[in-house]
Amino acid sequence: MRDEALQRSDRMDGMLIRALGLEQARLVSLCGAGGKTTLMFALAREFAAAGERVLVTTTTKIAKAEADGPWPVVTFDGTLVVPPAAALVAIAVSDVIDDGNKLAGIAPDAIDRLKEEAGFDRILVEADGAAQRPLKAPADHEPVIPPATDRLIIVAGLNGLGQPLNEENLFRSDLWAMRTGLVPGAPVSAESLGHMIVHDDGLARGCPDRADRTLFLNRADDPWRLAGAKRVTKTLAAATGRVPDRVVTGTLLPSPVVVDDVVFF
């Protein structure tokens, strides 16, 4: 199945797949804030349109309402019943929690096993939560990234730039201030986002050494936000350390659009 999937990837015309560098990535993890779930489902649709079988899951939890839709939800309890071939996309969870409003995901080591064992060409994993904020700083226990991840996609919402640094606008704002030096209450700058991306305890915290890294800057839907994206990219171009190998700028709603794609390496 893997060889067949890679042959199909050569014929892919999926805009997001190409821009994010996912042609050869079988296990893709997403972290950060500002559009992870929307991007994950958009990628699932692109892979399925190319005839690939896709497993969508999380290492944390996902809102039950977000899983409602055209794809079957399957329960993982150590084994996974693969849906019929007609179902190109399936969502895997382990339990229902939080008064039935949340679905618990799958442990990272189990996802690594599924990469080798299950009948799917691609596995897409939401590895982070952000409490619906456009930006976040990770706590010590996150993101939860499977070790066998081939590419990590770091998502950041450009609509968080320019907003006051507080908990209303940015999840774990105290950690953002601590790691970037930005004063609480000050406007969130593009430069501070760049610093949070490359910081050892920043948005790619815990990324396996084997994994490639892509930054997706979402909500580039006006000239001011697009200018902010360019400042983030400029900051990363001059940075050292955990710099992603490419930066993609675009918007996901009402439909995905890529407006810029910069490859560093």
**Tokens linked to 213:** 């890294």
Q: 104 or 170: which carries more pLDDT confidence?
A: 170
Average pLDDT for the chain: 90
Q: Per mean pLDDT, which range of 84-98, 142-156, 178-192, 212-226 is the poorest?
A: 84-98
The residues that bridge with 214 in the sheet, in sequence order, are 153, 246
- Percent of the chain, pLDDT > 90? 72
* Mean pLDDT, residues 137-155: 96
pLDDT tens-place string over residues 210-246: 999 999 999 999 999 999 999 999 999 999 888 999 9
Q: What is the pLDDT at residue 13?
A: 65
78 or 121, which is more confident? 121
pLDDT of residue 11: 41
Which helix (H) or strand (E) is 155 found in, with range? Answer: strand 151-157
pLDDT level of residue 77 (50, 70, 90 thresholds): confident
Which alpha helices (DSSP H) does 132-257 contain, by range? 173-180, 190-198, 223-237
Given a contact cutoff of 8 angstroms between Cβ atoms, the answer to whether 155 and 216 are in contact is yes
| Per-residue pLDDT at 86 | 66
Specify whether the CB–CB gap between 212 and 245 falls below 8 A.
yes
pLDDT for res 265: 57
**Six token digits for residue 118:** 């299950």
User: What is the distance between the alpha carbons of residues 151 and 248, in angstroms, rounded to a whole number?
Assistant: 14
Mean pLDDT, residues 85-110 taken together = 86
For 163, the token pair is 């907003």
pTM over 0.85: yes
The closest alpha carbon to 171, from 146, 139, 198, belongs to 139
